[in-house]
């Protein structure tokens, strides 16, 4: 495996002037209404959408109602009663990303989706996988295992001066015409960076590489369109910015890829056993699913998808990015606090460190005043945090239910925990 160049990322200059247009962005998010339908919004200052966001009351009641239906009718009978609603989940997922319903497979997580798709590609020693430095830990572990056990050539793509995939270097790499899979994390777990997925798509397409996007942190956060990105496959999870139940996710497989991609372990859900040694795969992406799944959480995912569509992906994106800009600027004004997102980061994931205080300790201190953030250690991203020599960051991620009072509480709590911003007598006592 080739190492990436490390010293690429400078801390964000969050105090730099920003075009007024960015702050005037057209935003029509009704925060009060979002809070009213989100029980948890009134119980803590929750800044962990990138871990698992707060679901709406409708998402939760849909899941519970179906469990009650199963209690009364039995699992199979309850599923039959909700068949139309279950089918509508595929339509909603497809509508959100500009795909068609047969190109959607529902999984229990993004990692399952990535694993099933990578396995189905059946890479061999003649193949090369080019992965972004922002690749999520579980996906990286799978790719490294493929490299070790199947002799696949794994290359971590070089990064540009902003810490993003270097598209020109990717272009040069793919120019040798070797069969390649390019896999990119749209937004990583470990910083607010956004990969240039559309430009990567253009290069991948020109060289005939298969292009997979991990949109786990971007669906429900940014407006995502698979044709604009030009990806062959995309995978995401339900519980993060999409605000779905835990244990849900979905994948998109472009119909042209679907025609030549078969699961390594077909399941009765996606295949019909037609003779002693024969079977037929479903023509749709459901060929990658398993029969057994939680119907209750699928239905909850469907509600979350419809809510995301109603809210409007463009409005959500501009509102979240505007708030993130404010948060980055405000954090960077607190003595002893450094925003460590790569320069130019704009997403609603904001990472920072507090001088002299371990990230885990910051998280605990903030939790004691009901401000929920998480620490992300370098073991969740060796090609990113490891390469930047940052052992751990504090991650605050914003969603549409976070109001001004939440932001004020977060900033006050961070100020309170930073030794550099506390009076000297308090630090030394
Ligand atoms: C960028 C990214 N990709 C993939 C995953 C894995 O998602 P899941 O836990 O649904 O498998 C995560 C989880 O945090 C993530 O942040």
Residue nearest to atom 16 of ligand 1 (CA): 189
Confidence category of residue 28, pLDDT binned at 50, 70, 90: confident
Confidence category of residue 102, pLDDT binned at 50, 70, 90: very high
Please tell me the distance from the alpha carbon of residue 192 to that of residue 340, in angstroms, as a whole number. Answer: 9
* CA distances to 22, 201, 259, 342 from 182, in Å: 32, 9, 19, 22
- pLDDT reading at 9 higher than 50: no
CA of 114 to the centre of ligand 1 (A): 10
Of 126, 123, 161, 160, nearest in space to 145 by CA: 123
CA of 72 to the centre of ligand 1 (A): 35
Atom of ligand 1 nearest to the CA of 188: 1
Taking a C-beta distance cutoff of 8 angstroms, is the pair 170, 161 a contact?
no
The DSSP H or E segment spanning 214 is: strand 210-214
Give the model confidence (pLDDT) of 166-215 as tens digits.
Answer: 999 999 999 999 999 999 999 999 999 999 999 999 999 999 999 999 99
Please give the pLDDT value at position 1.
52
Domain range list for the chain: 20-54+312-428, 58-310
- pLDDT reading at 231 higher than 70: yes
Please tell me the distance from the alpha carbon of residue 334 to that of residue 377, in angstroms, as a whole number. Answer: 23
106, 109, 110: residue to mutate for ligand 1 pocket, most atoms within 8 A of CB: 110
Taking a C-beta distance cutoff of 8 angstroms, is the pair 234, 97 a contact?
yes
* CA distances to 58, 241, 350 from 156, in Å: 41, 27, 24
Does residue 15 sit in helix, strand or coil? coil
Tell whether domain 20-54+312-428 is in CATH 3.90.1150.10: yes
- pLDDT reading at 41 higher than 70: yes
Please tell me the distance from the alpha carbon of residue 96 to that of residue 143, in angstroms, as a whole number. Answer: 28
Give the model confidence (pLDDT) of 380-407 as tens digits.
Answer: 999 999 999 999 999 999 999 999 999 9
Taking a C-beta distance cutoff of 8 angstroms, is the pair 399, 241 a contact?
yes
Lookup result for tokens 């590489």? 209
Q: Tell me whether domains 20-54+312-428 and 58-310 share a fold.
A: no
76-84: average pLDDT: 98
Binding pocket residue ranges, ligand 1, CB within 6 Å: 109-111, 136, 138, 185, 188-189, 214, 216-217, 237, 249
Look up residue 24 and give its two tokens.
């005037």
58-310: which CATH topology?
3.40.640
Of 264, 302, 263, 301, nearest in space to 282 by CA: 263
* CA distances to 202, 358, 379, 419 from 391, in Å: 34, 9, 8, 20
CA of 111 to the centre of ligand 1 (A): 6
Please give the pLDDT value at position 306.
98
Please give the pLDDT value at position 425.
55
CA of 189 to the centre of ligand 1 (A): 7
CA of 220 to the centre of ligand 1 (A): 14
According to DSSP, the β-strands at 45-46 and 371-372 are parallel
């Amino acid at each position: 495996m080739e190492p990436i160049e490390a010293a690429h990322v400078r801390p964000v200059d969050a105090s730099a002037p920003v075009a007024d247009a960015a702050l005037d962005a057209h935003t029509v998010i009704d925060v009060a209404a979002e809070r009213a339908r989100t029980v948890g919004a009134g119980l803590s200052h929750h800044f962990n959408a990138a871990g698992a966001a707060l679901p709406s009351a409708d998402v939760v009641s849909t899941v519970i109602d179906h469990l009650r239906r199963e209690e009364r009718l039995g699992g199979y009978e309850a599923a039959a009663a909700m068949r139309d609603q279950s089918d509508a989940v595929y339509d909603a997922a497809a509508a959100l990303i500009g795909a068609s319903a047969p190109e959607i497979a529902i999984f229990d997580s993004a990692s399952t989706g990535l694993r099933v798709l990578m396995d189905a590609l059946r890479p061999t020693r003649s193949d090369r996988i080019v992965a972004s430095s922002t690749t999520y830990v579980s996906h990286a572990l799978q790719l490294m295992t493929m490299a070790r056990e199947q002799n696949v050539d794994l290359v971590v793509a070089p990064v540009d001066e902003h810490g993003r995939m270097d598209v020109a270097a990717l272009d040069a790499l793919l120019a040798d015409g070797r069969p390649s899979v390019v896999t990119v994390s749209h937004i990583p777990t470990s910083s607010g960076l956004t990969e240039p997925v559309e430009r990567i798509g253009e290069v991948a397409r020109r060289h005939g590489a298969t292009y997979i996007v991990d949109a786990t942190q971007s669906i429900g956060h940014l407006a995502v369109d698979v044709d604009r990105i030009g990806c062959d496959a995309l995978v995401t999870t339900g519980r993060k910015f999409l605000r779905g139940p835990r244990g849900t996710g979905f994948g998109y497989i472009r119909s042209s890829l679907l025609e030549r991609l078969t699961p390594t372990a077909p399941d009765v859900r996606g295949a019909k056993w037609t003779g002693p040694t024969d079977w037929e795969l479903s023509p749709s992406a459901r060929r990658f699913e398993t029969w057994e799944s939680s119907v209750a959480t699928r239905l909850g995912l469907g509600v979350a998808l419809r809510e995301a569509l109603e809210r409007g992906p463009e409005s959500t994106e501009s509102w979240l990015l505007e708030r993130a800009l404010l948060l980055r600027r405000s954090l960077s004004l607190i003595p002893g606090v450094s925003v460590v997102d790569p320069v130019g980061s704009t997403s609603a994931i904001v990472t920072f460190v507090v001088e002299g205080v371990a990230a885990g300790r910051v998280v605990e201190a903030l939790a004691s005043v009901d401000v929920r953030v998480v620490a992300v250690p370098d073991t969740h991203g060796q090609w990113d945090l490891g390469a930047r020599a940052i052992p751990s960051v504090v991650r605050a991620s914003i969603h549409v239910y976070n109001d001004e009072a939440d932001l004020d509480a977060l900033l006050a709590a961070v100020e309170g925990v930073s030794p550099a911003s506390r009076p000297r007598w308090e630090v030394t006592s």
